[in-house]
A and B are shown apart, each in its own frame.
Chain A
């Protein structure tokens, strides 16, 4: 059942890269059954925000809370309930997709049998590549392995950085299906994308990182910095 209480809350968050402040005083909250769509132009700090939310990097100021507790105090529980897919797939080229999934599960201490792994991969359209080393798979196929790993992780919160890159039309439709299922079951998503997604019936919370600029303003700012 979707819960209306906010699970993930962000207070006065600020982030800097090098000496440049990317954003500051960011506040938002996310409840179960919601999808946070992070928007903003290139170099505005979308990826930085996502990495802050995973706990990989630390904010300049402000705080991120999960179930009311600061991330730093609660890291292990948070990482049990969160799954992240960044620009890199995090799969090993030497291993087959099934081995990759089972390895990821083992490291997260989730039981995952070979049959379950095979089913997850077949569901995502990789039934023919189960026994090939990931090295020989195409870019899109590897992305799919990473997505299958995301599904089998069974996390409540998904943090996805441009999950659509490298996927064909079927892949995009597949992700839309995954997102809809996840959210309708009370899951939470934080994601960025440059592509349009059709997510009917999903509660989308938009979040703008950095100022909304017109095209001309953007060019001026680019030259200035």
Chain B
């Protein structure tokens, strides 16, 4: 087992493994999305309080979860990379960031779509939405740091340090935003207190969560393959691959 892990820590071996895994995750994600959307729009009953508009939570909740979860995974890879100086961990972190940012943005967007019928406003400074917004800002910060640094080694480490200090800060930010929200008593309706959820709604939600999860894995594997090719383009094995394609 441990031998296998070390083997795949080398970018060359991981490139191949990732290539074999991508179709599986991509297809599972596609199928699960189809099932999930079917459940969400055709099977799940209309909510007696919120009407049809509530159906956006089938997108909103998975997106919000994934945006947080991906940040934690990035922090994990950053810590591993800084501790053992493994290049692949930094590449994974870089590959995950855009997906995380997309999910954070999606959760903001769907939150706004939900907010309009619920609160009569596209945006309310609800604790959840506000923390999603700040999480989105964190993603933007990390990605702009990467893009400003030309040297890949420096960029890797600088981005990892920023991700980590952000990760330490994220729980405090969440807490402070919640604190701020109760202090100012803004919205009285709270997203966490969703009316008791029917089993079928929960099922649809879970399916969508897994779909999002597999999508995130597939997308970041595709991206990490690109990063590996770019970083290792002076090596022989990449030259062989590129010639084979040409």
- Show the binding face of A for B, using Cβ within 8 Å: 18-19
Residues from chain A with Cβ under 8 Å of B231 in the complex: 19
Is B196 positioned at the interface, with any CB of A under 8 Å from its CB? Answer: no
> With A and B bound together, what is the CA distance between A17 and B233 in angstroms?
15
A-B contacts, 6 listed (Cβ < 8 Å): A18-B150, A18-B151, A18-B152, A19-B231, A19-B233, A19-B234
Residues from chain A with Cβ under 8 Å of B150 in the complex: 18
Total chain B interface residues with beta-carbon distance under 8 A: 6
Residues from chain A with Cβ under 8 Å of B234 in the complex: 19
Give the number of A-B contacts (CB < 8 Å): 6
Closest Cβ–Cβ distance, residue B161 to chain A (whole Å): 16
Residues from chain A with Cβ under 8 Å of B233 in the complex: 19
Residues from chain B with Cβ under 8 Å of A19 in the complex: 231, 233-234
Interface residues of B in 195-246 (CB under 8 A from A): 231, 233-234
Q: Per-position contact with A for B129-154: 1 when CB-CB < 8 Å, else 0?
A: 00000000000000000000011100
Residues from chain B with Cβ under 8 Å of A18 in the complex: 150-152
Closest Cβ–Cβ distance, residue A48 to chain B (whole Å): 13
Name the residue of chain B whose CB is nearest to the CB of A16: B153
> With A and B bound together, what is the CA distance between A6 and B234 in angstroms?
37
Name the residue of chain B whose CB is nearest to the CB of A19: B234
Name the residue of chain A whose CB is nearest to the CB of B150: A18
Name the residue of chain B whose CB is nearest to the CB of A21: B234
Name the residue of chain B whose CB is nearest to the CB of A60: B153
Closest Cβ–Cβ distance, residue B114 to chain A (whole Å): 47
> With A and B bound together, what is the CA distance between A18 and B231 in angstroms?
10
Name the residue of chain B whose CB is nearest to the CB of A18: B151
Closest Cβ–Cβ distance, residue A56 to chain B (whole Å): 13
> With A and B bound together, what is the CA distance between A19 and B235 in angstroms?
10
> With A and B bound together, what is the CA distance between A19 and B150 in angstroms?
11
Name the residue of chain A whose CB is nearest to the CB of B231: A19
**Complex A-B, nearest 4 residue pairs according to Cβ-Cβ distance, in ascending order:** A19-B234, A18-B151, A19-B233, A18-B152
> With A and B bound together, what is the CA distance between A187 and B231 in angstroms?
42
Residues from chain A with Cβ under 8 Å of B151 in the complex: 18
Closest Cβ–Cβ distance, residue B206 to chain A (whole Å): 45
Name the residue of chain B whose CB is nearest to the CB of A20: B234
> With A and B bound together, what is the CA distance between A46 and B94 in angstroms?
32
> With A and B bound together, what is the CA distance between A22 and B218 in angstroms?
37
Name the residue of chain B whose CB is nearest to the CB of A17: B151
> With A and B bound together, what is the CA distance between A106 and B63 in angstroms?
55
> With A and B bound together, what is the CA distance between A140 and B240 in angstroms?
53
Name the residue of chain A whose CB is nearest to the CB of B85: A58
> With A and B bound together, what is the CA distance between A18 and B153 in angstroms?
8
Closest Cβ–Cβ distance, residue B81 to chain A (whole Å): 15
Closest Cβ–Cβ distance, residue B73 to chain A (whole Å): 27
Closest Cβ–Cβ distance, residue A111 to chain B (whole Å): 36
Q: Per-position contact with A for B151-170: 1 when CB-CB < 8 Å, else 0?
A: 11000000000000000000
Q: Per-position contact with A for B93-116: 1 when CB-CB < 8 Å, else 0?
A: 000000000000000000000000
> With A and B bound together, what is the CA distance between A18 and B150 in angstroms?
9
Residues from chain A with Cβ under 8 Å of B152 in the complex: 18
> With A and B bound together, what is the CA distance between A18 and B234 in angstroms?
11
Closest Cβ–Cβ distance, residue A102 to chain B (whole Å): 34
Name the residue of chain A whose CB is nearest to the CB of B232: A19
> With A and B bound together, what is the CA distance between A19 and B229 in angstroms?
13
